[in-house]
């Protein structure tokens, strides 16, 4: 990876959303909806300890392998998003596989669901992953029943690469299916080129 996560420029405006690194006060607001049942029903880690959550997010600002942002509308934080950078699979000759992959995640305040917020946040982070960080590939996952999440990934041109049958344990639902989506840098560039025509 030629660029590090600390080289990414923030804030970024996407329509009414401003994406930027989080502050402690932002995370206090996020915690008002992060543990809401409409959010936790789609997560492997359901409720979180506020102090641990805040500390982990604020530490991500100094982590060369993570990009963590909040998205606000007129000063109200309505979503979070992350890109976690990791090595791709590869033979040990050369370094092309090092820091070549990213994992995308996003959460939206239920009060703002269905307004395109997740698509805007995820799309901006994919652009950061491929344009700013020079990643080769990005993946994202969700429960198969989380139609809203996998529809976001499909809108952004990600392809469903795996349907894991009962691959995730959910405390309330038992074993549930999961989907994994992926997209390559060249596919993202081709898509961006076709949208710009």
Into how many domains does the chain fold?
1
- The predicted-structure confidence for 65-110, as pLDDT tens digits, reads as follows 889 999 999 999 999 999 999 878 776 766 777 778 999 999 999 9
Lowest mean pLDDT among 20-24, 51-55, 118-122, 155-159: 51-55
DSSP 129: I
Q: Minimal CA–CA distance to 30: which of 56, 63, 66, 2? A: 56
Query: Domain containing 29 — which CATH number?
Result: 3.40.630.30
User: Which stretches within 4-101 are classed as H helix?
Assistant: 24-34, 37-40, 50-59
What pLDDT, in 10s, does the model give residues 9-59? 999 999 999 999 988 888 888 988 988 888 888 887 677 788 888 888 777
Q: Looking at beta carbons, which pairs linking 191-195 to residues 24 or more positions away fall under 8 Å?
A: 191/157, 192/127
Spatial distance between the Cα atoms of 94 and 29, rounded to a whole number of angstroms: 44
Could you tell me the residue range of the domain that residue 91 belongs to? Answer: 5-195
**What is the spatial distance between Cα 161 and Cα 181, in angstroms, rounded to a whole number?**
5
Are the C-beta atoms of 71 and 18 separated by less than 8 Å? yes
Its pTM stands at 0.89
């Amino acid at each position: 990876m030629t660029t590090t996560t600390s080289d990414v420029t923030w804030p970024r405006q996407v329509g009414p959303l401003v994406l930027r690194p989080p502050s402690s006060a932002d995370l206090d607001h996020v915690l008002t909806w992060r543990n809401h049942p409409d959010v936790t029903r789609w997560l492997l880690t359901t409720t979180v300890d506020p102090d641990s959550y805040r500390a982990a997010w604020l530490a991500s600002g100094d982590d060369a392998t993570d990009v963590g942002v909040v998205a606000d509308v007129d000063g109200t934080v309505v979503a979070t998003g992350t890109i976690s950078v990791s090595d791709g699979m590869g033979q040990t000759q050369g370094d092309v596989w090092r820091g070549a992959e990213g994992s995308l995640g996003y959460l939206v305040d239920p009060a703002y669901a269905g307004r395109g917020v997740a698509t805007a946040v995820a799309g901006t982070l994919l652009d950061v992953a491929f344009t700013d960080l020079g990643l080769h590939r990005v993946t994202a996952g969700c429960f198969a029943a989380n139609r809203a999440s996998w529809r976001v990934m499909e809108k952004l041109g990600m392809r469903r690469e795996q349907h894991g049958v009962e691959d995730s344990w959910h405390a309330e639902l038992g074993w549930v299916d999961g989907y994994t989506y992926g997209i390559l840098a060249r596919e993202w560039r081709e898509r961006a080129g076709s949208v710009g025509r």
